[in-house]
Structure 1
Amino acid sequence: MGDTTVRTRNGPEAAAAPPKGDESGRQTATERTLWQRLRRPRRPRIWIELALIGVSYWLYSLVRNAVPEQKSEAMRNADWIWRAEHAIGLGFEEAFNRAVNSVTWLIVGMNYYYATLHFIVTIGVLIWLYRRHPGRYAATRTVLFLTTGVALVGFYLFPLAPPRLMDGHNFIDTVLVHHTWGSMASGDLKHMTNQYAAMPSMHIGWSTWCGLTIFALAKAPWAKILGALYPVATLVVIIATANHFWLDAVGGILCLAFGFVVVWAWYGALPYQLPRVVSPARPASLSPSGV
């Protein structure tokens, strides 16, 4: 065996060059392999995930609160939303807010629901995904991050006052009236956050993400029912406490849809269709698997 030579009338010549296209073919195969590796589900690592979640939430809070509050524009946008809802016959938030506020134990419970479950349930679902569905964790978590990221664009482009801050209307700020804690947009804490970031509603974006994840992946029927009810209950709460218009909820759903579309385009499947477990030795393929 030896180098391939080409014989001519004058004798052997230098080794023949490889056929054209081989090098580009190898580059194409390498690029294709790299692309497949990037899109392959991987086992999450706890310290990376904790750092990523912490940094992401810090950046989210920093950017959200750094957006100029633009009170006058936020009030104009709120008036526009209110008129638009009345034009289609769905401007019911004020009546609903006042009706629920008349039941003290109910509205107090909703105030605490609004202040706490938004974070508790979301973190709980992330932990559950990490432990029970590691192969689906990264893709599903990415949906949540993309949803939150695009919401920041909405906060910047469309500052919006929540109903409870509108002038000339009879909305009730239920946190102030009932002296409950937890709202970063009422009372002494209102100066620590941007009060005019109501559109889109991340309470709806996050709760719908939680609900869909639980409904799609949980095995127990009662868990699926709770997953389906969670975003519905959250919608009731954000309207009853006058923190959002129902159109803010539509904005949250659109942000979530954006997150799912991007992840579907990247992985070639919805997050819940990816393999539940990824072997560290032999990564699972991208083909959807059963839940």
Structure 2
Amino acid sequence: MGETTVTTLEGREPAVPHPVTAETRPGPLRRLRTPRRPRLWFEILLIAVSYWTYSLIRNAVPEQKAEALRNADWLWELEHHLGIAVEESINHTVDSVTWLIVGMNYYYATLHFIVTLAVLVWLYRSHPGRYAATRLVLFATTGVALVGYYLYPLAPPRLMTNGGFIDTVLVHDTWGSMASGDLKNMSNQYAAMPSMHIGWSVWSGVTIFALARVPWVRVLGLLYPTATLVVIVATANHFWLDAVGGLLCLAFGYTVARLWYGALPHALPRQPRTKPHPRTAGRGRAGERPPAAARVSADQAPHEPIRPTEDGHPPAQARPTTHA
């Protein structure tokens, strides 16, 4: 005789579906530290205001001429002790080749801005996920340089009293520096330490070398700061040690970016992460169904409550099921 089992509606707990909660929104600090796609109007405004502020503060630093000249004499003497005081020889040698020194004057006056802006535009278009972090390096580098201008006024070699250097802009009557000739009153002439020509050029060169894919472009990235170093010395605008100061400022800028974003700029994703669409936020991968825990099958759905019949009697029990 077959076994008989009775299926009843009593004692059965309806399955309640697990609520699907939305992802926790990150806090404001985390959102600020997450690379996002830059906005063109904001970047143009930010760069313009930042450079205006930089120029205003740099030129507002008091031109302490006597102290700046004393610091230049001390630095020049230090380089003699270190055996690296060859700036005067380079200055006189290059000055003897007119076309070369004139070209360097224009190089000093223009590429400092052109290349830096070109790299920013390239980052904005091709590496939006790395743009903000790399820009932060540049801004932090420039910001700490302002502290150096204030704390350590320094005359460039061309303004030294007994240095024997040639001011190549004045001699060749070229527009090569805002701190020489007719434009000297528009810029603080005693803000030579650190050299932002080196800070910005090495920033540009490192960025190009780390992110460019074409080999010869990467080589140009390395040659650009090298050429800039020769130019600032040949035109008697900086000492070697001014370049070292620029490198220290750049190291500070990279440290700030590393601490803020948790990685160096070139290690960040090329494209910023985008937020998932609301309809697919609960899916593991595109096209997948929600997890089993989030689904409620038909047999787990809550049943209708048991209602009495019209005559007041309870409903009949479920019929037994006989298995053969």
Q: TM-score, normalised by structure 1?
A: 0.85
Q: Structure 1 279/154 Cα, relative in aligned 2: closer, same or farther at 3 Å?
A: same
Q: Which residue of 1 aligns with 2:241?
A: 247
The Cα shift of 1:264 comes to 0.3
* Pairs within 5 Å for 1:89-238: 89-238=83-232
In 2: Cα distance, 1:60 partner to 1:66 partner: 10
Q: Which residue of 1 aligns with 2:37?
A: 43
Aligned with 1:170: secondary structure?
A: coil
The one-letter code matched in structure 2 to 1:235 is L
Counterpart of 2:49 (choices 55, 64, 67) is 55
Q: Confirm or deny: 8 A CA contact 2:178 2:187 kept in the other structure.
A: yes
In 2: Cα distance, 1:180 partner to 1:128 partner: 31
Counterpart of 2:269 (choices 275, 278, 287) is 275
The one-letter code matched in structure 2 to 1:278 is P
In 1: Cα distance, 2:184 partner to 2:242 partner: 20
The Cα shift of 1:141 comes to 0.3
In 1: Cα distance, 2:260 partner to 2:236 partner: 38
Q: Confirm or deny: 8 A CA contact 2:107 2:176 kept in the other structure.
A: no
In 2: Cα distance, 1:200 partner to 1:252 partner: 5
Percent identical across equivalent pairs? 72
Instruction: Report how many aligned residue pairs link the two structures.
Output: 255
Structure 1 runs not aligned, ≥5 long: 1-28, 284-291
In 1: Cα distance, 2:34 partner to 2:71 partner: 43
Aligned with 1:281: secondary structure?
A: coil
In 2: Cα distance, 1:37 partner to 1:282 partner: 15
The C-alpha deviation readout for 1:103-134, integer Å capped at 9, x for no partner, is 11111111110000000000000000000000
The Cα shift of 1:167 comes to 0.2
Q: Structure 1 282/154 Cα, relative in aligned 2: closer, same or farther at 3 Å?
A: farther
The one-letter code matched in structure 1 to 2:102 is V
Which one has the bigger helix percentage? 1
In 2: Cα distance, 1:115 partner to 1:90 partner: 26
Q: Which residue of 1 aligns with 2:73?
A: 79
Q: TM-score, normalised by structure 2?
A: 0.77
State the 4+ residue runs in structure 1 displaced beyond 6 angstroms: 29-32
In 1: Cα distance, 2:216 partner to 2:187 partner: 37
Q: Confirm or deny: 8 A CA contact 2:57 2:146 kept in the other structure.
A: yes
CA RMSD of aligned residues (A): 1.6
Q: Structure 1 82/37 Cα, relative in aligned 2: closer, same or farther at 3 Å?
A: same
The Cα shift of 1:168 comes to 1.4
In 2: Cα distance, 1:214 partner to 1:175 partner: 30
In 1: Cα distance, 2:225 partner to 2:54 partner: 22
The C-alpha deviation readout for 1:66-109, integer Å capped at 9, x for no partner, is 00000000000000100000011111101110011111111111
Residue range with higher mean Cα deviation, 173-182 or 156-165? 173-182
The one-letter code matched in structure 2 to 1:146 is A
The Cα shift of 1:32 comes to 6.7
- Structure number with greater Rg is 2
In 2: Cα distance, 1:115 partner to 1:236 partner: 14
In 2: Cα distance, 1:282 partner to 1:89 partner: 60
